[in-house]
A and B are shown apart, each in its own frame.
Chain A
């Protein structure tokens, strides 16, 4: 029999905080290490890794690494590229994937179930397997620009955006969410004279806050943090290069550790800002959909 006394409860509280603090530290250590190291010259940085000094701003502290990193790579350009590609892709993705999910869940058309199965089946295809065929395709696609028709999409923003707009996971998230919305709301809107698109815009989307947050967060993190292989293949010019490919600038003959840490710290700032803005939506969406980025 457990006796619940005041001391017991107090002890439990202390234990809980201790555990939470420990977990927070485990997650914070790499970040602290990154930021602290970005302030140290390479030699000291490497020496400090063998002791707790690695986490302390001690010794020869300066912003020299940042200055050098800016000299080495057009960081501002890379970040703008990544942010631009992320914003455009994510907005188009949630718009188009939610429309697709709407058609899959609410509208009746022949072949619907088969089509949905095929879309969801693409979840299991790793990107690496389609990278080469996709490269061949985009290298020959036409585009109507200011100077008429151009051929080939290499070294552009669109080659980094278009292939990523539609993905099965985002469609799936919306499909699951739409299935759980009360059907009568959709039927009431239709009976009230709404067209399919009006049902989508005025009833379904305004009620889709949680799934929108989830989709935006997952997709944004993917587009900003994980775009490496594809842009490495299709973007050769600096003007369109995203941040992750920019990492390569710091892995030349000798790895410039301090500058690398400075670069990583800088490119983390937008993620941090994004997180702070969407913090509440972030927590709510994980709580409601059980999906973690």
Chain B
């Protein structure tokens, strides 16, 4: 552990109840009490994961569906509190996890920009200062005062991306979102992300497409059933991953 680690995940285990055994009504809860079957089966979505990520690193996470990638990102973001172990992040985290998560259909794009900005923790003055830049990048000039319910999914994605990356966040989290929008916007957004790779912003990327990880990341963690299979330089891990899958 060195002093310029910005993310320290220390022996994290995340235990979930098996989804279809969840009790979500009082009725069922009472029935279970009567039947004395209030024990739940659970499983570890993450098991003893430890990683340290340094400032400015571009860190990739790979693994099959359900291997725990998104769960790990949620632990790092502070959304989930790990069952065991600790996760510490030094700096503000800006997620690109599914773009435009706090958008409100009835409100206009302009109103949504301010709402979304405040969800990310930015002040009104700050948002006023970057409004033009957001509008330019998302190319939504004519639609600024149109309720967002009339937007296509591509337009939403553009807006969400523009808001999330308008400043250089200290830590940027990208969960399989570089594959939204049309081809042109994909290129544009990937270029924007690479602009952030100047050593100031720490980036964590989860992606299906191994090519993207190989192109962007410096270090990669490979997860399988919540356990670390391998963690190291991109080329090594990706090569091993490819031979097994």
Pairing of A with B: no
- Please list the residues of chain B having a beta carbon within 8 angstroms of any beta carbon in chain A: none
